[in-house]
């Protein structure tokens, strides 16, 4: 799922003009105890995913997002902890009463990290690349309203006008996910049709420039990325000191959670890729008592791992085992899964049972018990029998009407213990109703390769979301979306219910009334629950460990939980 864009933005009939003007200075970062921001030093934050491309328009995944957060800047930002709009490259914006047209004033005197000046031409170029079919940007597909792109034009070097093709519920918060790229660095590649290859992992890093707090100066495959402070970064703190505080941010590539934790224990990392696992909290609390780190609870995760079958028409999985594509089969599985056991054993109680992709962490969009299928083995067996799946030979495994065993494999992420352990629980619980499951753990590149080729039966994986607003996560909800896991990228809806889901999601995205949006999204969630294309089990509580020497962190439930605000981080006791 893609881009951090929650927004409490209300449009009213009496609205004639909205003017938002912010100071260049940012707020004081959250600090621990008597710590106060000082300048200099290096912070170490592990990351699990190997980069393939450093351009967010090309890579909409975790690395593309991290790279954009650290090295690029957007016109505005949505604070993921509060939902408030904050100025970035734009200092002010005014809107028409219908919310369709917005005029942005750009911050004067800014330079990219290579010293080249920033102007409205860079904004226009970014939108040109965003919607260029040769780029094929997933972000470009998501930044549309009713299937139409946003229009942008320049009034002069310091003012741009953005026009929505139709009303859009989240409004200008959509811009939070779009980094403004350097025209002088990338125009030649866009003109030549080679834009996606311009900033790959093998690119000379001097070709990359941005207006974010850091500059990427080193990438060692399977080892680390090193970011140093951008000398041209424009933000200051309340005392007028230039941000970021840090001289360097080192990001080791550590695919496995156990290895991340070992680094944290050994004092070799200040932050890990995500929240701590439940089974590690006791040890981490001991370290907190000893003063080596602190634990901050950010809230309930909005990123829930998804279990889905390959429902792409013509897929070998459903051709050979047609019951995989039967809604009754999937509903039976949902009744056979005891979610509370997953909460208690995998997350040691630090999670909430869920039946859909929307969690309590989504706030107003969450509907308690939506689509609930209570644990009921008897109900599960009845449903399985109703579609001809019975234990015909008494071996404890169901067979279909052709005497073939009811057996399938789940692919999941190697090294992600929550997913591996949940898959093992699923294997055991489904065995109790006569379904045999094989669990195959793969590394992320192999897992994504199998997903892309359609060479799988079932998968337990997921994607991180950077917004709580459903209109910002259309890649999951729409049949044409790349994160519509069970049958992604459909040219037209494969089923009547997916066509209805598309219509509901488009309506809620283009409705300006917040209450109507909540009602329409509740209907969309119910439709998803009625047809069971995927299953969800538990939403963990996000508890973030932070080393005692790291200050300025304000953890959020949106990934990455701390590095979203990296310019505010500092190392206690170090000076430039």
**Phi-psi category of residue 376: left, alpha or beta, with phi > 0 → left and psi -120 to 50 → alpha:** beta
Q: How far is CA 290 from the centre of its chain?
A: 34
The per-residue pLDDT for 35 is 57
Closest C-alpha to 276, from 506, 555, 573 = 555
Residue-wise pLDDT for 29-87, tens only, equals: 444 444 567 789 999 999 988 888 999 999 988 888 999 999 999 999 999 988 899 99
The per-residue pLDDT for 12 is 31
Q: How far is CA 286 from CA 20, 283, 290, 346, in A?
A: 46, 5, 6, 21
CA pair distance 362, 521, nearest whole angstrom: 12
The per-residue pLDDT for 270 is 95
Q: What is the pLDDT along the chain (576 residues), one digit of tens a residue?
A: 433 333 333 333 333 333 333 333 344 444 444 456 778 999 999 998 888 899 999 998 888 899 999 999 999 999 998 889 999 999 999 999 999 999 999 999 999 999 999 999 999 999 999 999 999 998 998 899 888 999 999 999 999 999 999 999 999 999 999 999 999 999 999 999 999 999 999 999 999 999 999 999 999 999 999 999 999 999 999 889 999 999 999 999 998 888 888 888 888 999 988 888 888 888 888 889 988 999 999 999 999 999 999 999 989 888 999 999 999 999 999 999 999 999 999 999 999 999 999 999 999 999 998 999 999 999 999 999 999 999 999 999 999 999 999 999 999 999 888 999 999 999 999 999 999 999 999 998 899 999 999 999 999 998 888 788 998 888 899 999 888 999 999 999 999 999 999 999 999 998 989 999 999 999 999 999 999 999 999 999 999 999 999 999 999 988 889 999 999 999 886 444
3-class state of residue 30 by DSSP: coil
The per-residue pLDDT for 173 is 93
Residue-wise pLDDT for 102-112, tens only, equals: 999 999 999 99
Longest dimension (CA), the chain: 78
The per-residue pLDDT for 407 is 97
The per-residue pLDDT for 277 is 86
Closest C-alpha to 185, from 157, 164, 208, 169 = 208
Helix, strand, coil percentages, rounded to 5, for the chain = 30, 20, 45
- Burial class for 21, CB neighbours closer than 10 Å (0-12, 13-18, 19+): exposed
CA pair distance 391, 449, nearest whole angstrom: 35
């Amino acid at each position: 799922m893609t881009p951090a864009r929650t927004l409490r933005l209300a449009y009213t009939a009496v609205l004639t003009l909205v003017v938002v003007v912010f100071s260049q200075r940012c707020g004081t970062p959250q600090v621990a105890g008597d710590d106060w921001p000082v300048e200099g030093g290096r912070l170490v934050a592990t990351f699990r995913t190997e980069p393939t491309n450093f351009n967010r328009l090309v890579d909409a995944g975790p690395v593309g997002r991290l790279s954009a957060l650290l090295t690029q800047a957007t016109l505005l930002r949505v604070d993921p902890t509060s939902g408030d709009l904050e100025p970035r490259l734009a200092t002010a914006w005014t809107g028409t009463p219908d919310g369709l047209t917005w005029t942005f004033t750009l911050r004067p005197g800014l330079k990219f990290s290579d010293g080249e000046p920033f102007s409205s031409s860079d904004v226009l170029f970014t939108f040109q690349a965003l919607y260029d079919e040769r780029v094929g940007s997933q972000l470009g597909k998501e930044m549309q309203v009713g299937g139409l792109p946003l229009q942008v034009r320049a009034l002069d070097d310091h003012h741009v006008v953005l026009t929505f093709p139709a009303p859009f519920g989240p409004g200008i918060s959509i811009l939070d996910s779009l980094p403004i790229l350097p025209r002088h660095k990338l125009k030649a590649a866009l003109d030549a049709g080679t834009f996606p290859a311009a900033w790959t992992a093998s690119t000379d890093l001097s070709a990359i420039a941005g207006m974010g707090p850091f500059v990427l100066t080193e990438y060692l495959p399977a080892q680390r990325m090193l970011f140093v402070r951008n000398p041209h970064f424009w933000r200051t703190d309340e005392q007028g000191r230039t941000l970021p505080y840090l001289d360097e941010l080192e990001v080791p590539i550590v695919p496995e959670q156990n290895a991340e934790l070992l680094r944290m224990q050994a004092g070799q990392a200040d932050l890990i890729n995500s929240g701590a696992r439940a089974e590690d909290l006791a040890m981490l609390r001991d370290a907190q008592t000893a003063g080596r780190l602190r634990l901050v609870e950010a809230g309930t995760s909005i990123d829930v791992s998804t279990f889905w079958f390959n429902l792409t028409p013509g897929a070998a999985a459903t051709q050979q085992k047609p019951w995989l594509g039967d809604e009754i089969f999937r509903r039976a599985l949902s009744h056979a899964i005891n979610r509370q056991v997953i909460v208690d054993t995998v997350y040691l109680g630090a999670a909430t049972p869920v039946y859909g992709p929307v969690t309590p962490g989504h706030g107003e969009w969450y509907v308690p018990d939506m689509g609930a299928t209570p644990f009921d083995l008897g109900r599960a067996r009845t449903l399985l029998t109703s579609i001809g799946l019975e234990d015909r030979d008494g071996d404890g495994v169901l067979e279909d009407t052709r005497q073939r065993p009811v057996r399938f494999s789940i692919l999941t992420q190697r090294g992600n213990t929550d997913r591996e352990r949940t898959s093992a629980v699923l294997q055991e619980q489904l065995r109790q109703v006569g379904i045999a499951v094989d669990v195959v753990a793969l590394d992320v590149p192999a897992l994504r390769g199998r997903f892309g080729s359609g060479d799988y039966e079932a998968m337990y994986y997921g994607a991180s979301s950077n917004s709580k607003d459903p209109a910002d996560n259309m890649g999951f909800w729409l049949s044409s979306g790349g994160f519509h896991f069970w049958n992604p990228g459909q040219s037209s809806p494969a089923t009547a219910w997916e066509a209805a889901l598309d219509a509901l999601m488009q309506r809620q995205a283009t409705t300006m009334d917040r209450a109507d949006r909540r009602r329409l999204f509740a209907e969309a969630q119910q439709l998803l629950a009625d047809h069971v294309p995927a299953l969800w089990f538990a939403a963990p509580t996000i508890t973030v460990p932070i080393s005692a020497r790291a200050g300025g962190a304000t953890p959020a439930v949106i990934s990455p939980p701390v590095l979203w605000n990296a310019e505010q981080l500092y190392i206690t006791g170090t000076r430039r």
